[in-house]
Homo-oligomer: A and B are copies of this chain.
Amino acid sequence: MTDDDLLDELLGDARSEIDSIDDQILNLLERRARVVARVGEVKKANNLPVFHPAREEDLIYNRRREAAKLALSPEMVEDIFRTIMRSSRIKQTKTMAQKCVMPGAKVLVVGGAGAMGRLIHGWFSAAGYDVCILESDDWGMVEEKAAGVDLAILSVPIHNTGEVAERLAPHLAQDAILADVTSTKSEPMERMLGAHPGPVLGLHPMFGPTTDSLDKQIVVVSPGRDPEGCQWVVEQLAAWGAVTVAASAREHDEVMDVVQGLRHFATFAFGQFLSKRKISLQRTLEFSSPIYRLELDMVGRLFAQDPTLYADIIFSTPERLELLRGYVESLEDNINMLKEGDVGTFMEEFAKVAEWFGPFSDQAIRESSYLIEKMIERF
């Protein structure tokens, strides 16, 4: 008799009982989903936001307290209800996708056949806007397509954005909004401002084209000209569930030098090095802690995506190159420290950096521990 057979015999009854309990849980989840759908309709009809953080935190607090009374793990119960609420929000956000802040407005997506362009086109179409697309081989029709447009969104590679803005702007009405979605803002916005005398808005959606819900996704918004005239676009993003963060083009670019430039450069170089050394990914994964697996996932993720996107980000501005040079120089300094076996300097540096990270470290431990837990749970 194998272990499995033995288990089956000994545990058969208990398993049927578990199956029956789980059935009841599923039925309750289904009833819950119906109530939530009703809530979604009420919110939509009354122009109320999908995400109501105070109510959610309150709910979690109460469920944890109940869990403790029942000798259940509050951590497990919080996880379960966060999962349920996120799923509810995504469903409600889909309902809200139809919400239109500026009914009747005409939207032009330039580069609308690209991955990001298609996504943008999809959002505005679902909300009932009159959306059309202009591709590089349609320029003959620019006059016709740009006529009566209220919002023109440029979804083209960074290095084309300025030029495309200059070609398009003369065909736009003075009060039309000209916006872009590139991942650097200073130069494209300067050229948009120079080309178009009306409202200008810089957008940077902080997510890739595979994202299927805007729920809690971040969009950086850089004011260009006439913020009031542009306000409905920001409100439309919020109505879809996105979180908008305002920043000047310059601040945006400085932050992105690190968040995108440095990070993607380091990730690219790491993956490239693993491949050059022909490291056995499989074997490293078998041996590894969940953190390594998580980090390797980040590297593999980059190489599964469109290289032109990363080329745009890494070959960007002279400031960005300067930052990356500084980074590599600091690595060279560290190699010298290692060559000299200078453990003392390492310990000092470590202490300084740890102090600089300060209270963020606690957050980092908490968040990464949670994700490691989820990784072990799932994979």
- Number of A residues near B (Cβ < 8 Å) is 160
Mark contacts of A36-52 with chain B using CB atoms, 8 A cut-off: 1 yes-contact digit, 0 otherwise. Answer: 10110011001011001
Q: Once the chains are docked, how many angstroms separate the CA of A281 from the CA of B38?
A: 40
A303 in contact with B76 given A14-B39, A335-B325, A371-B374 (CB within 8 Å): no
Find A259's partner among B259, B270, B287 (CB 8 Å cutoff).
Answer: B287
Interface residues of A in 11-42 (CB under 8 A from B): 11, 14-15, 17-19, 21-33, 35-36, 38-39, 42
- Closest B residue to A350 by beta carbon equals B307
Contact: A28 with B28, CB < 8 Å? yes
Whether, in the assembled complex, A83 has its beta carbon less than 8 Å from a beta carbon of chain B, the answer is yes
Q: Once the chains are docked, how many angstroms separate the CA of A122 from the CA of B311?
A: 51
Whether, in the assembled complex, A297 has its beta carbon less than 8 Å from a beta carbon of chain B, the answer is yes
- Closest B residue to A296 by beta carbon equals B364
- Closest B residue to A270 by beta carbon equals B266
Contact: B315 with A275, CB < 8 Å? no
Find A303's partner among B31, B36, B354 (CB 8 Å cutoff).
Answer: B354
Find A356's partner among B25, B275, B324 (CB 8 Å cutoff).
Answer: B275
Residues on the B chain within 8 Å of A324, using CB? 335, 338
Mark contacts of A294-331 with chain B using CB atoms, 8 A cut-off: 1 yes-contact digit, 0 otherwise. Answer: 11111111011001101100110000010111111011
Residues on the B chain within 8 Å of A173, using CB? none
Interface-lining segment among A66-74, A100-108, A161-169, A195-203: A66-74
Interface of A is mostly: helix
Contact: B307 with A377, CB < 8 Å? no
A-B contact pairs, 12 of them (CB 8 A): A29-B70, A30-B72, A215-B376, A220-B287, A245-B286, A281-B360, A300-B361, A307-B347, A307-B351, A315-B338, A328-B332, A374-B374
Interface-lining segment among A1-9, A131-139, A231-239: A1-9
Residues on the B chain within 8 Å of A31, using CB? 21
Residues on the B chain within 8 Å of A30, using CB? 70-72
